[in-house]
Structure 1
């Protein structure tokens, strides 16, 4: 019994010793980190005049140089961090000057060596800085690091560094291919990383949209948002009929937003699509594009089995002026149950919204026209200031005032 008790005491003492050592190490690391941060802040304050010189020299036709004298390693790191920060902010000639200064100062050469080290932490730090300095020769090493990296934030950072550094379209596509293996739903993030490149992305977008890999197509579609690239419209038009449901839906959204005018046969085909998301997007676009010729099609869509299609169709009819509002009134009186319900809901919303501001003459005229139509189909108009119906209003389904 006594040997077991002694062994237990020994184990307890060892655990206490390990805990104490661990606390001391953590405290020492914290003190070291705080000391390093204070020193970096001091160096940044020391180099304030130098940073002012750089900002002035950027606008002048002269070569940028480091401060005179020998710089401590941490002091060089402070200057490098500031240069990377400005490289991200500036473009054109200013950015090129800052990148050239990074090369002449030896920052690029040092981090290329760090990228080849065995220590993971130093590799990751170097990968971030090389991307910030737009270093094309670092791309092969960054690519190998990305292939070995597990899915997570570090993989995203390395991919972003590759996109910023590369000057070859093939490397950019290879990076996308590797990155897309790091997660199932990162197409939006991959598109954002793709647009970090300094190269012209128009050719790349066309190649992605025409690729057989649906993941590449999805990235290309996401990257297309906010990009005015007329050359991709033929490829985008083909994707409107793609077999993959999510690809087709995203292509339709882009196609509708990019096309100033839609052909009647195109509208009819899309409104008959089996995917309700596609039909809903088309119904919404018809109102935004003020396609008054599609009123019969929207009126028919009020009976669609999907509530999003019905809702968007009613909203679009309300945007199409007097003819669209009259189509809503007819649907509210003559339509089926679901058609009547969505039409009346939109009519009341339109009347309340339109009647809140009579300051603009055009708004007042438009409201009066809709009020006359409302009177014709339903009797006395709604009093929108009190949100109650006046006495003697004839509602859909009969007059209950008697």
Structure 2
């Protein structure tokens, strides 16, 4: 049976045929099929109702994993809400992908966890994943964990500031900023002169967000650095914190003008 025939069979009066057709959508269905499948939630047959819910859950999960970055943020968030409302055991199902052997599926599954932040188990699983051997998994997990932990739970991720991978360290700084804990400022000050442009930019932005506003000279140092990446990160910081200083306007303007001439 192909998908086109399966779509026609969804309106069949034969419950067995409808249920059989729904199983095909679980593996190959598109997000555009959701509307007609969800109409079956009110089907008189309990078997069809159950199959429709299971199919919707699997179809959403599979499409999020396969096309996560292609979907608009608003669409992803709505699908996450729908996924949680349909399947209380969605975390158990997602665990099959979180700990599978395929890196891409693992990363997408971690990202889906971020859409399920209302589930109390998400924080526990992310705390486990920040210890994963896979660098990309660690970096993604710590970024999401910062959005679900409380102000005083920063110890869960603080140790990752010493991670061997610069991506993990950069994401850890973003995560610590997300907690809104101003007591982290003295710790973050140690990274103001980091040689990695992204880490340095993230630190300055985090410091400013957490109340340490004396960052003008730090940004100027980045703008005067010989590294083009460091200069670019400085411009990014200025755009993020909206700091209005003549020295920064002059330095960034001079850099951009030089780039135009080049």
Equivalent in the alignment of 1:256: 146
Describe the SS at the equivalent of 2:126: helix
CA distance in 2, matches of 1:314, 1:330: 7
Alpha-carbon shift at residue 226 of structure 1 (Å) = 4.2
Matching of residues 2-401 of structure 1 within 5 Å = 123=5, 125-126=7-8, 138-144=18-24, 155-156=29-30, 160=34, 164=38, 167=50, 171-172=54-55, 175=58, 179=62, 185-187=66-68, 196=82, 200-209=86-95, 212-213=99-100, 217-227=106-116, 228-263=118-153, 265-321=155-211, 324-326=212-214, 329=217, 349=238, 353-354=242-243, 382=246
* 1:383–1:332 distance in 2 versus 1, CA, 3 Å: closer
Deviation at 1:255, TM superposition (A): 0.8
Counterparts of 1:225 and 1:163 in 2: how far apart (Å)? 25
Two-structure CA RMSD over aligned residues (Å): 5.0
For residues 163 and 331 of structure 1, what CA distance do their matches in structure 2 show? 54
Deviations 1:210-242 (A, max 9, x none): 753256654543333343112332122111212
Are the aligned partners of 2:80 and 2:115 in contact in 1 as well (CA < 8 Å)? Answer: no
Judged with a 3 Å threshold, the aligned counterparts in structure 2 of structure 1 residues 240 and 139 are, in CA distance, closer, same or farther, namely: farther
- Partner of 1:325, secondary structure, is coil
Q: Measure, in 2, the Cα distance between the counterparts of 1:287 and 1:279.
A: 13
Q: Which moved more, 1:286-295 or 1:209-218?
A: 209-218
**Post-superposition offset of 1:311:** 0.6
User: In 2, are the aligned partners of 1:208 and 1:219 still within 8 Å (CA)?
Assistant: no
Aligned length: 223
Partners of 1:301 and 1:289 in 2: CA distance:
18
Name which one, 1 or 2, has greater alpha-carbon Rg. Answer: 1
Give the TM-score of the pair, scaled to structure 1: 0.42
Deviations 1:248-275 (A, max 9, x none): 2222122111112254543431212233
In the alignment, is the contact (CA less than 8 A) between 2:177 and 2:210 conserved in 1? yes
Contact 1:239 1:247 in 2 (8 A): yes
- Report 1 or 2 for greater relative contact order, CA contacts < 8 Å, sequence distance ≥ 6: 2
Range moving further from structure 2, 271-280 or 252-261: 271-280
Q: Distance in 1 between matches of 2:199 and 2:24?
A: 48
CA distance in 1, matches of 2:186, 2:195: 17
Q: Compute the displacement of 1:300 (Å).
A: 2.3
* Cα 1:305/1:214, change in 2 over 3 Å: farther
Q: CA deviation at 1:349?
A: 4.3
Aligned-partner Cα distance in 1 for 2:17–2:69: 27
Gaps of 5+ in 2: 41-48, 252-262
Distance (Å, rounded) in 2 between the aligned partners of 1:244 and 1:296: 30
Residues in 2 aligned to 1:266 and 1:224: alpha-carbon distance in whole angstroms: 17
Change (3 A) 1:202 1:235: farther
User: Could you report, residue by residue, the CA deviation over 1:136-193 in whole angstroms, capped at 9, with x for unpaired residues?
Assistant: 973432334766x6xxxxx42587479745636995599469958xx99535579956
**Distance 1:168-1:244 versus aligned 2 partners, 3 A rule:** farther
- Alignment partner, residue 52 of structure 1: none
